[in-house]
Structure 1
Amino acid sequence: MRVRNINYTEIDLYTNMLPYEGSRLKDILSSWLEKGITRLDWCFVIEDNNKFLGRIIYGVFDDDLDILNIDFIDAPKEAMEKLLCHSVKEMGLKGFSKIINHLYSDKNNFKEYKDILLKIGFKITQEKRSFTWTQNYIKESSKRLIFKSLEDTGQMEYIEAIKEVTEGTLDEDDLSSIKEIGYKKAAEKYFNELKDIDFNKKWWKLAYTGDNDLLGLVVPQRFNEDTGAINYIGVVPKRRGNGYINDLLIEGTRILSENNITKIIADIDVKNFPLEKALMDQGYKFDCEMLVMKLSL
């Protein structure tokens, strides 16, 4: 077995070796390559007698190196471990200092991936619960909020809003980032990470009360043709506990649904019980567990 990078002539074979969450990985990979999120020398394959056994794709969102995809075809554990160890070493030689991976419990080989990642030095930094919405109706909004898009407010106002809603957050990943670089830089970093995923200024909303006081925000984003996510949502501290999170969820869900998104994902920290309750109240259903795993190179 050997590990190597792929070339352009192998993209079809590489992306079709296994299905990818109901979508065409070729289209997604092409988009990542076009946007500079990944490069072919960040795409690795392990093969045996010219047969592809597994693939791993790395990508960068705001200078953070993420594992974007791991997949194997009935590969033995030694193939999984060899691909991960070799590719991690190669990415370290390219100057990266940290790798992040989001691992979902409904994915094939979840336990094997988790065990191997832990074995080679990854640490579990956050446990999340993933919820999905696949209904064809949306609850009525209370209409007590005024929504303005990022197109209306501008980037600096939106970053300031992110800073405000992360105060007192229950999200372990946000807390870690705030502790490391402070509220303002953490907000700027997260804004840029979200931009790299999907940047539709009309969809990103800030919410205000009738007297134009900031209430919170919601960031609905498209992943592919029919799948999207409520990728960030929050209420400012002084307004929490009044059910406003439901208004934000309804707005984000409405935007995605009206733009032909039929599956909406929301990943939340296991300790975020208020948001979990709100998601279930709005028709979201628990789907799977998710681990955030990080490795310092």
Structure 2
Amino acid sequence: MRPITGRDELDLFCRLPYAFNEELADDLAAGRRRPEWMWVALRGDHLLARAAWWGRAGDDTPLVLDILDLDDSAAAPDRVDIGEQLLQTAMAKTLPPGTDPPEYSRLVPSNWRESAAAERVVKDRMTVLERTGAQLSVERLRLEWRPGTPVPQPSGRLAFRSVGDSEELIDLMTLAMDGTLDDHSRRDLARMPAREAALRHYEEEFARYTSPREWWRIAMLPGGDPVGFVIPARNDYNSIIAYLAVLPAHRGNGYIDDILAEGTRVLAEQGVPRIRAATDLSNTPMANAFQRAGYVNFERAINMTWN
């Protein structure tokens, strides 16, 4: 059990299939992955299991564990045992001592519970993680808008403008925390005040986007009162709806559809090949809004944490 030596062992690491395999070379070149963050369990030259973390370029520690795969041809107890041993070994060598491991986030088929084979694969990985102390945090819907899907015309109920500055957006994010259905936000609120959580989210995500901030939109009533906001952006891989919120005083009026439509229009006008988004499986209002807007649930994500 060891990390890969470098790009020269990517073919070895990619013997187990996953959609992210095609991105690994670019991630290594950009510094989002490091060979010492990519571990394999081998028996001779046979790949039995693998694990890998992802991080932001320039960071010394990884941000998320997003790859954990087991050789499906091995017997059930053996493959889970090997996966546990690999992950324990890799965490001890890769992560700073005395800290909670970063979140596990793994993409799975949207219908993974409907296939016995897919369900077994997902649950084997979850068993490995549970043995190291992780617990299921949330299951998320991964959504995609595709060119040719109609974008609703503005209803006229709301007006939109660009965000004035970071302080204005952080203020609105703080307000939106009240009554949020988002699991990550709820966990942040259990540890810190709403404004601190909003500031942390802004600095760790929105401030890092290189796409134009002119895309960001605040939704307003005709009199100018803010109703909510949407953050259309581009991350390292896709155009995305990074954040969408309706302020507490205006929830229940259907404004979410107008705000999502505006964010979708901003990106669609750039001629993008797709728009990606995500929301918690349990966040029914948000999931329904994406469905009404023509977004397709093409996969899910399983998130697990150690804290």
Say whether the fold is shared (TM-score over 0.5). Answer: yes
Deviation at 1:126, TM superposition (A): 2.1
Q: Please name the residue that 1:48 is paired with.
A: 43
2:131 is the alignment partner of 1:110: no
Cα distance 1:64–1:185, how it changes in 2: closer, same or farther (>3 A)? farther
When the two structures are superposed, what TM-score results if normalisation uses the length of structure 1? Answer: 0.82
Aligned residue runs from structure 1 range 28-67, under 5 A: 28-31=27-30, 33=31, 37-60=32-55, 65-67=63-65
Q: Give the TM-score normalised by the residue count of structure 2.
A: 0.80
Q: Which structure 2 residue ranges, 5 or more long, are not aligned?
A: 113-117
Aligned to 1:216: 228
SS at match of 2:63: strand
Comparing 165-174 with 252-261, greater Cα deviation is found at 252-261
Gaps of 5+ in 1: none
Match of 1:267 among 268, 278, 297: 278
The one of 189, 199, 210 equivalent to 2:200 is 189
With over 3 angstroms needed to count, the CA separation of the structure-2 counterparts of 1:94 and 1:284, relative to structure 1, is same
Please give the residue correspondences for 1:247-258 in structure 2 after superposition, counting only pairs within 5 Å.
247-258=258-269
Contact 1:16 1:26 in 2 (8 A): no
Q: Which residue of 2 aligns with 1:26?
A: 25
Query: What is residue 69 of structure 1 aligned with on the other side?
Result: 67
- After TM superposition, list the pairs within 5 Å mapping 1:1-297 onto structure 2: 2=1, 4-10=2-8, 12-13=10-11, 16-17=14-15, 18=17, 20-21=19-20, 23-31=22-30, 33=31, 37-60=32-55, 65-72=63-70, 74=72, 76=74, 77=79, 78-94=81-97, 96-106=99-109, 109-136=121-148, 137-150=150-163, 153-195=164-206, 198-200=209-211, 201-223=213-235, 227-296=238-307
**Contact preservation (8 Å) 1:104, 1:110:** no
| Residues 53 and 75, structure 1, Cα contact 8 Å, conserved in 2 | no
Query: RMSD across aligned C-alpha pairs, in angstroms?
Result: 3.0
Kindly tell me the number of residue pairs found equivalent between the two proteins: 287
State whether residues 146 and 209 of structure 1, in contact with CA within 8 Å, keep that contact through their aligned partners in structure 2: yes
AA partner of residue 216 (structure 1): G
Cα distance in 1 between the residues matched to 2:13 and 2:157 = 47
Q: 1:181 to 1:284 in 2, by over 3 A?
A: same
Conserved? CA contact 1:166–1:234, under 8 Å: no
Give 1:66 shift.
Answer: 1.2
The CA deviation string for residues 112-136 of structure 1, in whole angstroms up to 9 with x for no partner, is 2112112221111223333332351
More strand by share: 1
Where 2:253 maps in the other structure, the secondary structure is coil
Deviations 1:60-88 (CA, angstroms, capped at 9, x unpaired): 46988311333455464133222222122
Letter aligned with residue 30 of structure 1: A
Of the structure 1 ranges 161-170 and 49-58, higher mean CA displacement relative to structure 2 is found in: 49-58
Q: Aligned partners of 1:235 and 1:55: how far apart in 2?
A: 41
User: How high is the sequence identity, in percent, across the aligned residues?
Assistant: 25
